[in-house]
Structure 1
Amino acid sequence: MDGKEVEKRVIEQYKQDENMMILVFAQWCVNHDLDPEALYLEAYPKQQGNLALQKTLELTVTKEESEEIPHHSVLGVLQLFGNDDLAFIVSQQIDRMQQKGDSLD
């Protein structure tokens, strides 16, 4: 395998992992009756109409069909990909939920 093939595989793997991160975020939002696009826009106001997020929203399921996604998992995945602004917004939402009594951590 030459250098270009390795580089191509690394890029493809990163894209797959990034899509998984988006799916975790979007499904977590669905599970908590939050609008993923609105939260994303709050974190990144200049990135309206994020195509990757829009495509991934089609892959989410209802909260009744979904497994629970712990708060610390969604935060960890966002921070792993450098989405610190979005992690901050999610953290604020988690604080609001915990004040209402939802403590899934």
Structure 2
Amino acid sequence: MDYENRDEYIIKKYQQDEQIMVQLFVQWCINYQLNPAELYQRAYPQQLQSSVLTVAIDQADGEELDLSHETLLDVLQMFGNDDLAFVVSEEIEKLSKK
């Protein structure tokens, strides 16, 4: 594999992994009746809503997937979404008080 193809492969793989991360975030929000767009906006108030997030919300089927809080936090942090992980942590704390 030459360098140009390798770089394209790495970028494409990262984008696919990012889509999975966003889908997991949206699914977690659905599981707990939370608005993923609202949480994203709280985490990143200066940014426009991500097109990847919009697509994931539109494609969400509402079927519950068993996804632990810790798994979601780990995935978000792995992708450097520390601000979103912080907002999710706040929501987890609220959920645990119910």
The question of whether the paired residues in 1 share the 8 Å contact of 2:27 and 2:65 is answered with no
1:45 maps to amino acid: P
The equivalences for 1:18-37 within 5 A come to: 18-37=18-37
Name the CA distance, whole Å, in 2 between partners of 1:39 and 1:18. Answer: 17
The equivalences for 1:40-79 within 5 A come to: 40-62=40-62, 65-79=63-77
Matched, 1:89 2:60: no
Name the CA distance, whole Å, in 1 between partners of 2:72 and 2:2. Answer: 36
User: How many pairs align?
Assistant: 98
Q: How much identity, in percent, do the aligned residues show?
A: 41
Gaps in structure 2 of 5+ consecutive residues: none
Specify the SS of the correspondent of 2:97.
helix
Gaps in structure 1 of 5+ consecutive residues: 101-105
**1:49 deviation in Å?**
2.4
Task: Spell out structure 1 runs of 4+ moving beyond 4 A.
Answer: none
Specify the SS of the correspondent of 2:59.
coil
1:67 maps to amino acid: L
Q: Normalised by the size of structure 1, how large is the TM-score?
A: 0.90
**1:59 deviation in Å?**
2.2
CA-atom RMSD in angstroms: 0.8
Name the CA distance, whole Å, in 1 between partners of 2:81 and 2:75. Answer: 9
Q: Normalised by the size of structure 2, how large is the TM-score?
A: 0.96
Q: Please state which structure has a larger fraction of its residues in helix.
A: 2
